Amino acid sequence: MSEGDRLANLMQRIPQTREPSKIVAAHHTTVDLAGQLDRPEWLQAPPVPIVSYWSGKQAPAGRHAEARILWSSKALHVRFVCPQTEPLVVSANPQTAKKAMGLWDRDACEIFIAPDASVVERYFEFEAAPNGEWLDVAIQWGPDKRESDWKFNSHMTTAARIESDRVIIAIRIPWNHWLPEPQRGERWRVNLFRCVGSDPDRGYLAWQPTLTPEPNFHVPQAFGWLVFK
């Protein structure tokens, strides 16, 4: 099989779009998906294609990603499926017992969530890597700068699997004081990202491009909408 055919097969499950929707539908599930990468419930969630760089430029197919979001009475569940056509950029000595600082400089998938749509400048960042490393941080934009609460502890957990031609990463975020269980029909603000590859051709992909001069995911005004069904 040629490289082109292999990529085409990998991307069959990831819809292509020039103007991605600004709405993600999160469907309710009665199953807690902690550590579950292959449960059929994931297919209840509509796929969210992540196909563009932060700049809005289309990324090569081998760097695309697909995200699906579900929610249960216990937690928010996010799964990323990513073709992997270049060497992994991960820690040689992964730490999963605590948050991995600097994870954004390696391969990772991310979700940013602002549960109060009227205060989009206050949001939460969750990252996970193909080797199971993770990071969570609470963000607050002030008049002049961005403040990061590195002591924030969401009690998030991750699951990940590296295959021959793709990686699968799941994030589970339990409902808590900062992210309370939503009601059906509730709308939060959200964005989804993938970091992949190494310099000088490192890729920073965004579901909703932030359109900044340099790679920057921290543009809450660019967030789309997460609607709980």
- Flag whether 146 is in a domain: yes
- Flag whether 58 is in a domain: yes
Cα→Cα distances 59→53, 205, 214, Å: 6, 8, 16
List, as one string, the DSSP characters of 14-77. S---SS--SEEEEEE-SS--TT-SS-GGGGGSPPEEE-BBTTSPBPPGGG-EEEEEEE-SSEEE
Q: Domain of 216: which CATH number?
A: 2.60.40.1190
- Flag whether 107 is in a domain: yes
Domain extent, residue 149, equals: 25-91+99-228
Query: According to the model, what pLDDT value does residue 144 have?
Result: 85
- Flag whether 192 is in a domain: yes
CB atoms within 10 A of CB 17: 10
| Cis omega (within 30 of 0) for bond into 83 | no
- Flag whether 7 is in a domain: no
Which DSSP letter does residue 200 get?
T
- Flag whether 85 is in a domain: yes
Read off the pLDDT of residues 72-93 as tens digits, 9 standing for 90 and up.
999 999 999 999 999 999 999 9
Query: According to the model, what pLDDT value does residue 17 have?
Result: 35
**pTM to 2 decimals?**
0.90
The proportion of the chain whose per-residue pLDDT surpasses 70, expressed as a percent, equals 91
| Number of domains comprising the chain | 1
- Flag whether 1 is in a domain: no
* Spatial separation of the C-alpha atoms in residues 217 and 229, rounded to whole Å: 26
132: left (phi over 0), alpha (psi -120 to 50) or beta: left
Half-sphere exposure of 80 (CA within 13 A, CB side): 36
- Flag whether 30 is in a domain: yes
Higher per-residue confidence, 143 vs 139: 139
